[in-house]
Chains A and B, each alone.
Chain A
Amino acid sequence: MSNLNAVSFREEQGRYKGIFAWIFSTDHKRIGLLYLYSIVSFFLIGVLLGAAMKLELLAPGKTVMDPATYNAIFTLHGVIMIFLVVVPGLPAVFGNFMLPIMIGAKDVAFPKLNLLSWWIYVFGAIIALSSLFMGGGPPDTGWTFYAPYAFKTNTNMLPAVLGAFILGFSSILTGINFIVTIHRLRAPGMTWFKMPLFPWTLYGTGWIQILATPIVGITLLMIVGERVLNIGFFDPALGGDPILYQHLFWIYSHPAVYIMILPAMGAISEIIPTFANKSIFGYKAIVISTLAIAFVGYFVWGHHMFTSGMSGTALYTFSLLTFIVAIPSAIKVFNWVGTLHKASIQLETPFFWAASFLFVFMIGGLSGLALGALATNVHLHDTAFVVAHFHFIVFGGVGFAFMGAIHYWFPKIWGRMYNTRIATSGWIIFFIGFCTLYLPMFFLGVTGMPRRYYDYVENFHGPNIVSTIGSWVLILGLVIILTNLIRSAYKGEKASKNPWGGRTLEWTVDSPPTLENFEEIPVIDRGPYDYRKNPE
Chain B
Amino acid sequence: MNKHSDNHIVPYRLYIQVLAGLIVMTILSVAITKINLDTLTVFAAILLASIKSALVLTFFMHLKFDNKLLQILVISVFVLVALVLFITFLDYNFR
Direct contact of A and B (CB under 8 A): yes
Whether B88 sits at the interface, judged by CB under 8 Å, is yes
Contact between chains at B94 and A299 (CB < 8 Å): no
CA distance A299 to B90 in the complex (A): 12
| Interface window among B25-33, B46-54, B56-64, B79-87 | B79-87
CA distance A269 to B8 in the complex (A): 43
Whether A211 sits at the interface, judged by CB under 8 Å, is yes
Residue numbers in B under 8 Å from A310 (CB-CB)? 91, 95
Contact between chains at B77 and A247 (CB < 8 Å): no
Contact between chains at A298 and B94 (CB < 8 Å): no
| Selected contact of A311 from candidates B80, B83, B84, B94, CB within 8 Å | B94
Contact between chains at A247 and B88 (CB < 8 Å): yes
Interface size class of B (residues with CB under 8 A): 10 to 19
Residue numbers in A under 8 Å from B91 (CB-CB)? 243, 247, 302, 310-311, 313-314
CA distance A71 to B91 in the complex (A): 31
Closest chain A residue to B77 by CB distance?
A: A211
CA distance A117 to B84 in the complex (A): 28
Interface centre among A183, A243, A309, A313 (most CB of B within 10 A): A313
Contact between chains at A313 and B84 (CB < 8 Å): no
CA distance A314 to B90 in the complex (A): 5
Binary flags per residue of A233-276, CB closer than 8 Å to B gives 1, else 0: 00000000001000100010000000000000000000000000
CA distance A309 to B93 in the complex (A): 13
Whether B12 sits at the interface, judged by CB under 8 Å, is no
Whether A317 touches B80, Cβ cut-off 8 Å, given contacts A311-B93, A312-B94, is no
| Selected contact of B87 from candidates A243, A302, A312, CB within 8 Å | A302
CA distance A405 to B17 in the complex (A): 56
Contact between chains at B87 and A311 (CB < 8 Å): no
Contact between chains at B87 and A211 (CB < 8 Å): no
- Interface size for A (C-beta < 8 A) is 16
| A contacts with B: majority SS | helix
| Selected contact of B84 from candidates A251, A317, A318, CB within 8 Å | A251
Binary flags per residue of A272-306, CB closer than 8 Å to B gives 1, else 0: 00000000000000000000000000110010000
Residue numbers in B under 8 Å from A312 (CB-CB)? 94
Distance (whole angstroms) from the CB of B54 to the closest CB of chain A: 20
Contact between chains at A317 and B87 (CB < 8 Å): yes
Closest chain A residue to B81 by CB distance?
A: A211
CA distance A535 to B88 in the complex (A): 52
Whether A299 touches B93, Cβ cut-off 8 Å, given contacts A211-B77, A211-B80, is no
CA distance A134 to B75 in the complex (A): 46
CA distance A442 to B88 in the complex (A): 31
Tell me the chain A residues, 378-428 only, with Cβ under 8 Å from chain B: none
CA distance A159 to B53 in the complex (A): 37
Distance (whole angstroms) from the CB of A88 to the closest CB of chain B: 23
| Selected contact of B80 from candidates A247, A298, A309, A318, CB within 8 Å | A298
Whether A311 touches B92, Cβ cut-off 8 Å, given contacts A299-B83, A299-B84, A299-B87, is yes
Distance (whole angstroms) from the CB of A137 to the closest CB of chain B: 34
Residue numbers in A under 8 Å from B77 (CB-CB)? 211
Binary flags per residue of A312-330, CB closer than 8 Å to B gives 1, else 0: 1110011000000000000
Residue numbers in B under 8 Å from A183 (CB-CB)? 69
Contact between chains at A317 and B90 (CB < 8 Å): yes
CA distance A313 to B84 in the complex (A): 15
CA distance A420 to B72 in the complex (A): 48
Distance (whole angstroms) from the CB of A132 to the closest CB of chain B: 35
Tell me the chain A residues, 311-363 only, with Cβ under 8 Å from chain B: 311-314, 317-318
Contact between chains at B90 and A311 (CB < 8 Å): yes
Residue numbers in A under 8 Å from B80 (CB-CB)? 211, 298
CA distance A309 to B95 in the complex (A): 8
CA distance A311 to B94 in the complex (A): 5
CA distance A354 to B18 in the complex (A): 57
Contact between chains at A311 and B95 (CB < 8 Å): yes
Residue numbers in A under 8 Å from B94 (CB-CB)? 311-314
Distance (whole angstroms) from the CB of A245 to the closest CB of chain B: 12
Distance (whole angstroms) from the CB of B73 to the closest CB of chain A: 9
CA distance A211 to B69 in the complex (A): 17
Binary flags per residue of A12-41, CB closer than 8 Å to B gives 1, else 0: 000000000000000000000000000000
Interface centre among A183, A251, A311, A318 (most CB of B within 10 A): A311
Binary flags per residue of A192-222, CB closer than 8 Å to B gives 1, else 0: 0000000000000000000100000000000
CA distance A317 to B83 in the complex (A): 13
Residue numbers in B under 8 Å from A247 (CB-CB)? 88, 91
Closest chain A residue to B83 by CB distance?
A: A299
Distance (whole angstroms) from the CB of A319 to the closest CB of chain B: 12
CA distance A298 to B92 in the complex (A): 19
CA distance A309 to B94 in the complex (A): 11
Residue numbers in B under 8 Å from A299 (CB-CB)? 83-84, 87
CA distance A317 to B87 in the complex (A): 8
Besides A247-B91, A313-B90, 11 new A-B residue pairs in contact (Cβ under 8 A), listed by A number: A298-B83, A298-B84, A299-B84, A299-B87, A302-B91, A311-B94, A311-B95, A313-B91, A313-B94, A314-B94, A317-B87
Give 6 A-B contacts (CB < 8 Å), ordered by A residue.
Answer: A211-B80, A251-B84, A298-B80, A311-B95, A314-B91, A318-B87
Binding site for A on B (CB under 8 A): 69, 77, 80, 83-84, 87-88, 90-95
Per CB-CB distance, the 10 closest pairs between chain A and chain B, nearest first, are A311-B94, A314-B91, A313-B94, A311-B95, A314-B90, A310-B91, A311-B91, A313-B90, A317-B90, A247-B88
